[in-house]
Amino acid sequence: MFTGIIEEVGKVAAIERGANSARFTIEAHDVLKDVRLGDSITVNGACLTVVAHTPTTLDFDVVYETMQRTAFGDLAIDDQVNMERSLAANGRFDGHIVQGHVDGTGTIASIREVDNSYYVYIKPLPSLMRYIVRKGSIAVDGISLTVADVDDKMFSVAIIPFTMEHTNFGARRAGDVVNLETDIIGKYVERLVGGDYARADNGLRLAENPREDRSLMSTTATYQE
């Protein structure tokens, strides 16, 4: 389990791509402390397993399911990524319950500076909208944030300067695709009352193109109030 409090911004050092998979090598410092093979670390909000490491890098294998659900297909060398180690049993819980299980992606429509804060407007996959509520929690690229406002197609989050400076949000621009994990509580409630969260993707399938479901996220339109 994670909290959405980013420990470090790493940098993509190398990428080995397979047909529907990848291995990422990430340069880091803080999250390397006491690292062991098999440890869980979130990279832009996706829980990944350390499969190799050096004094300055970590390697992660990313499988088909993760490539399909996330924006990892867009990662490039030197890109910044948010990183957080799993929460220790005696750790301080600061953010919200983050599983590191990305539900899907969203596209940043616009970023607006308002006084000492930044409002980021994000258009998620339509299937995620029912789990996003005003003043609810959401993880964006692994960052624990509060939904400032929401309509039927888009939501916004307010970000303080500290978060802009200590996460990859400082490098984000309109049109960028981000990983989203909605609040787990809403999914369980829906399932328990007879909802269809478990069938949200209309059954098990294996897409020919693991990124085909992200075609809806190509828009770069600016949010209109």
104-218 is a CATH 2.40.30.20 domain: yes
pTM of the model: 0.83
- 117 burial (CB, 10 Å; 0-12 / 13-18 / 19+) is middle
Question: pLDDT 10s digit of each residue in the chain, 225 long?
Answer: 788 899 999 999 999 999 999 999 999 999 999 999 999 999 999 999 999 999 999 999 999 999 999 999 999 999 999 999 987 666 666 667 778 899 999 999 999 999 989 999 999 999 999 999 999 999 999 999 999 999 999 999 999 999 999 999 999 999 999 999 998 888 888 888 876 654 555 444 445 444 444 433 333 344 344
Domains 8-85 and 104-218 in one fold: yes
- Note the helical H segments in 41-102: 64-69
Please state which architecture CATH assigns to domain 8-85: Beta Barrel (2.40)
Query: Where are the domains positioned within the chain?
Result: 8-85, 104-218
